[in-house]
Structure 1
């Protein structure tokens, strides 16, 4: 991949259905609902979903290309020097206080630190200082995390910071167990510590995200990552270089406490709704045809069975007894005659 192509990966794509800006035809809520990173697969043409806070066109590709070319040459020299140190048998593995000789590790770290300083100088000289906060999210949580950040950037806490845009990686075209979606939140100047910290605090306090440092777009352009053979740090800032661990933890705990409190309120509201007395409704009269005691011929549709005084078979036992007595009398009279 060419240097310029890599640099373009950090530029907001205009007129792209997977990129939202204030001029888009749908609002941000509809956009994040329609294009979810866990559902959009990268077929080679849609590796990212983007959101931009405001229109801020910048035509600095020429300067950025010059900066990337200069930085790439520097990185190549550093890589070669690090390899030389590694293979130089005259350099001790351990430093010596007696002779003052530095170890291989110390010499490599010195070269890498010098490279970091030179990369900053190149960035600032050419005005190529933009970059991004990095975060990673698993597939089962990325949709919620991305929606929170996107909405915040459009009209929430992030909108009041220098953060200009954000993007999230879509899903791979094939099944990848344990895949992590990278999320980038862009800032105009990675060397402006105060602005970078401001964005960091919002991401921690209002979104509870796990941050992985601040990376310069120049670093991305020259292919400087954590596995680069030069060993030069792939981020301009690590989290703890900006805020102490204790403060990072406090900000995230405050976020999760707020989330739990909101859930409890929601549960309490649901319980109250379920336990609220219901208003008595009007009972509907059953249709005549629904009467289980109705006559099959319809002549006595409203008649109900009567409980019989004798027996349970419904016959008139009193009438039967009278008939039996009359029969006995008739039989006795016949015998006397």
Structure 2
């Protein structure tokens, strides 16, 4: 599943009276996760997502509609500027430092960086700064990963972070080879680097997650994805902008080492239990010797 296919303008709005949405008033989380699994719920156009909410986000002072309208106009302007650069034959493909000429690529990137900064200004002005960590999960692993993330958010390691909501894509109508499910973990402010990084650390260390960056909900609302004509980066943060590769690897390695140790311990216990059961069974099956008294009378 591509980012473009997985997100649309209203995908970040939590639905009302929707059976595939869980909050603390909806009964035990375990029952919800058992009943509704992403591999088993098929999207017929009415149930694209499963949702789990730890706490409702603060909405006071936010104006997503105004932010979206302003950002759409900005995106149109920036897209045109990028296209004009691309179509201007007077701009060289390669930079010429001696003549002080920048390449098409350099000029496009300047516009794209400017656009990202202006989108941040719009988000901040209208208090529409929420967003989400993105994960793409293989179909054969999605049920286990989703259950783990959802439980972590409500009553596990993620509950101690700013993350407040998660969702996962349900299954497409037709089976596709190598299909992946988009899983999102929502944060209240994508521009709060420390808060976003704290969530990242938990996802890596406690879940071994394969992360695809942090996307603003405003970006989703205006249709800015990785295939957009503007070429503007479709995520506010890439992984490497928040953490060094070595640190990310160390956190994931620690998770998988712990997982392997737990599996080995469980296997060892199962083996010991099996051996104990065999000993007990053997003892029970062993014939007992009869207690034979002395033959004959006293001397």
The TM-score, its normalising length taken from structure 2, stands at 0.89
**CA separation in 2, counterparts of 1:243 and 1:88?**
38
Partner of 2:17: 15
Q: CA deviation at 1:57?
A: 5.8
**CA separation in 2, counterparts of 1:239 and 1:133?**
10
Q: CA deviation at 1:169?
A: 0.3
**CA separation in 1, counterparts of 2:56 and 2:171?**
27
Q: Report SS of the residue matched to 1:132.
A: strand
Partner of 2:48: 47
Partner of 1:24: 26
Q: CA deviation at 1:92?
A: 1.0
Q: CA deviation at 1:7?
A: 4.1
What are the residue-to-residue correspondences of 1:91-110 with 2, within 5 Å? 91-110=91-110
Q: Cα 1:246–1:122, aligned 2, differ >3 Å: closer, same or farther? A: same
Q: Answer yes or no: is the 8 Å Cα contact 2:112–2:230 preserved in 1.
A: yes
What are the residue-to-residue correspondences of 1:94-133 with 2, within 5 Å? 94-133=94-133
Partner of 1:191: 191
Q: Report SS of the residue matched to 1:143.
A: helix
**CA separation in 1, counterparts of 2:284 and 2:251?**
51
**CA separation in 2, counterparts of 1:149 and 1:105?**
39
Q: Deviations over 1:39-63 (max 9, x none)?
A: 11000000000000024463667x1
Partner of 1:38: 39
Partner of 2:176: 176
Mapped pair 1:71 → 2:57 = no
Aligned residues: 277
Structure 2 unaligned spans of 5+? 1-6, 287-299
Partner of 1:147: 147
Q: Which runs of 4+ in 1 moved over 6 A?
A: none
Q: CA deviation at 1:257?
A: 0.4
**CA separation in 2, counterparts of 1:55 and 1:125?**
22
Mapped pair 1:233 → 2:233 = yes
Q: CA deviation at 1:95?
A: 1.2
Q: Deviations over 1:86-118 (max 9, x none)?
A: 111111111111210111111101100100000
What are the residue-to-residue correspondences of 1:265-280 with 2, within 5 Å? 265-276=265-276, 277-278=279-280, 280=283
Partner of 1:260: 260
Q: CA RMSD for the aligned pairs?
A: 1.6
Q: Answer yes or no: is the 8 Å Cα contact 2:92–2:104 preserved in 1.
A: yes
Q: CA deviation at 1:259?
A: 0.3
Larger RCO: 1 or 2 (CA < 8 Å, sep 6+): 2
